[in-house]
Amino acid sequence: MIAQLLVATHNKAKLGELMMGMKKLTDQGVKILSLNDLKISEDPEETGKTFEENSILKAKFYGSLTRLPTLADDGGLHIEVLDGALGIKSKRWLGRDASDLELIEYTLKRLEGLPKSKRVAYLETSLCFFDPKSNTLFNKQERIRGYIAEKQSGRPTLGYPYRALFVIEKWGRYYDELTEEEHHAISHRLKALRWMVDKIVKS
């Protein structure tokens, strides 16, 4: 069993969500560290062509940098009518680091006038665990199907702009409007994380 685990993200919202799924590790004495704890500001160049490739790239980058077992994530939004865009460019769809509001407004503009049947979308994630000492690597992908609403929700989550547009088909409600219990049940990231934590515990 590992003694420490670095969660390699600068996104505070994502870090908080991942920490929610770490109880099984912390109960066994694993110390969870963040990039902020280690005062790491570097970011690798995300040259992968898929979420999976980028999550592996990030886990290996930070694991090699710190010599710590590392958990990294990459993910975003796929919209069928846009041939899978935004994909790996979800954060930089405008060609730069845009604000949450800019990304929300641009997405709505691109889909303006399209019916619900043409607004099918998926939120996707890829998690990767890498231990540089044993060269152990695990990777897991998950996604949720939904559709893009015609206007944003009234409860946007800072750091997750597309959740303010994404309606969960199962409940017909914005991702941002789910209760904590519903979020835990549906979250693609937490589903991948539960699988990942079990693999880490057994490794």
- Is residue 156's pLDDT more than 80? no
pLDDT of 152: 94
Question: Is 83 one of the annotated active-site residues of the chain?
Answer: no
Alpha-carbon torsion (147, 153, 155, 161), positive or negative: positive
**Number of domains into which the chain is organized:** 1
Residue 83 lies in domain: 4-202
Catalytic site residue from 27, 73, 74, 198: 74
Mean of all residue pLDDT scores within the chain = 91
pLDDT band for position 91 (cuts 50, 70, 90): low
Whether 75 contacts 53, CB under 8 Å: no
Q: Residue 195 maps to which CATH number?
A: 3.90.950.10
Report the range out of 10-19, 74-83, 148-157, 193-202 with the highest average pLDDT. Answer: 193-202
171 or 192, which is more confident?
192
Q: CA torsion angle for 161, 167, 173, 176 (degrees, to 10)?
A: -10
Asked if residue 104 has pLDDT above 70, the reply is: yes
